[in-house]
Amino acid sequence: MFEQIERVPGDPILGLIDAFNQDVNPSKIDLGVGVYRDAQGHTPILRAVKEAEALLLARETTKSYIGSHGDPQYGQHLLSLVLGSQSPVLEAKRACATQAPGGTGALRLAADFIHKTLPQAKVWVSRPTWPNHLSIFEAAGVPTRDYAYVDAATNSLDFESMLADLQEVAAGDVVLLHACCHNPSGFDLSEHQWQKIADLAEDKGFLPLIDFAYQGFGLGLEEDAYGVRLLAERLPEVIITSSCSKNFGLYRERLGTLIMVAANHDQMQNVKSQVAVVARANYSNPPAHGGAIVTTILESTELTAYWLQELDEMRTRILDLRHAFVNALKPQGLGDKFACIAEQKGMFSYTGLTPEQVDRLRDEYSIYMVRSGRINIAGINDQTLPYLCQAIAKVCQ
């Protein structure tokens, strides 16, 4: 039977990694991959995580299942982290959390939940969005539409067009929003713009699904949650998918959370029961280790202090690189053209480089990025910055 199966092309980012690994140019730079890198080009294990793991090794007494929703203590911590410890939503007991295998796992739970319980709903995603959003909804059998987000001509957020497109959303449809650090563009909504989105959601009756994969990587842990908290407090129903891959550096441990906010406690319990069914059909129980690490950190004042400091260091390094990058392009006469890089948030930036310029950077300078011109800012360091800026100046001539 397998003889009729066709080979499909691999993920373009993985192809980029292969090409980078094979490149013998000692000056090569990888700006494609979507993980945080420190100044030495490493994706480190946080000290808070290492210490939590040492404690867990000594303390853990069982490897039994943790249940479809994961560890309830972990769930409580994530609800506070995402919605705020004083959240009126938590006070009203109208939110629940389900531990999932990564932000991706949480998104798949959301997609299956929508497919099962809201079969008429379409999901609206930003144009552009993280490509896996489309794959996840397609795999779950949920139709998608898109709304304008980035103006390609000016490489900026096109909020007016976004609002105009969202006027077309039917009541009962789902609108996927990036809480912060929009992937791939780096363009985030301002507080005022979030308020407009909340008004529109109320007016149109659409259900926001907020993907929160980078809490703490934009402006800060609390600041990045502005839109999530606003919508959860103002609207009766919101879905949130959170990831601990970036902010706890737990990528391969696969830790994410699906948060469902309902109009009241009773409806939340109904929704929660449906999420358990969806989780069971996918993987039964989530992996425990990542959640146990985060719970251990958040239950220790000392480990929480380490974690907050390390998270701040990662965020500040990215921010400093953004400014250094724009400053280094100024002598090349490109300061204005790339000024948006200092304004964008999170690891990713739309540079505005064309696919042809991206190809030249790869072929002539061994600088690797995806063809949309998206770069991972954390892939730069002080040593590689001058070479990178010279190469960009050459391909922009």
Q: Site residues for ligand PMP, window 81-120 (CB under 6 A)?
A: 102-104
3-state secondary structure of 54: helix
Active-site entry in 246, 272, 307, 345: 246
As measured in angstroms, the least distance from the Cβ of 92 to ligand PMP is 27
Active-site entry in 30, 71, 211, 224: 211
Element (H, E) at 205: none
Selected from 68, 183, 344, 349, the binder of ligand PMP by CB under 6 A is 183
The number of beta carbons lying within 10 Å of the beta carbon of residue 11 is 11
Selected from 30, 158, 165, 211, the binder of ligand PMP by CB under 6 A is 211
What's the distance, Cα to Cα, between the start and end of the chain in Å?
A: 54
Tell me how long the chain is: 397
DSSP tally for the chain: helices H, then strands E: 15, 13
β-strand partners of 242: 212, 257
The answer to whether 246 is a known catalytic residue is yes
The answer to whether 130 is a known catalytic residue is yes
As measured in angstroms, the least distance from the Cβ of 159 to ligand PMP is 19
- What are the φ and ψ backbone dihedral angles of 362, each rounded to 5 degrees? -70, -50
Is 189 a residue that touches ligand PMP (CB under 6 A)? Answer: no
DSSP of 213-258: S-TTSSS-TTGGGHHHHHHHHHSS-EEEEEE-TTTS--GGG--EEE
Selected from 68, 99, 245, 257, the binder of ligand PMP by CB under 6 A is 245
Q: Site residues for ligand PMP, window 111-170 (CB under 6 A)?
A: 130
As measured in angstroms, the least distance from the Cβ of 251 to ligand PMP is 6
The smaller minimum CB distance to ligand PMP, of residues 100 and 321, is found at 100
Question: By 3-state DSSP, what share of the chain in percent is helix, strand and coil, each rounded to 5?
Answer: 50, 15, 40
DSSP conformational letter for 317: H
CB-based closest residue to ligand PMP: 102
Active site (catalytic) residues: 130, 211, 246
Q: Which residues of the shown chain bind ligand PMP in the complex (CB under 6 A)?
A: 34, 102-104, 130, 178, 183, 211, 213, 243, 245, 251, 256
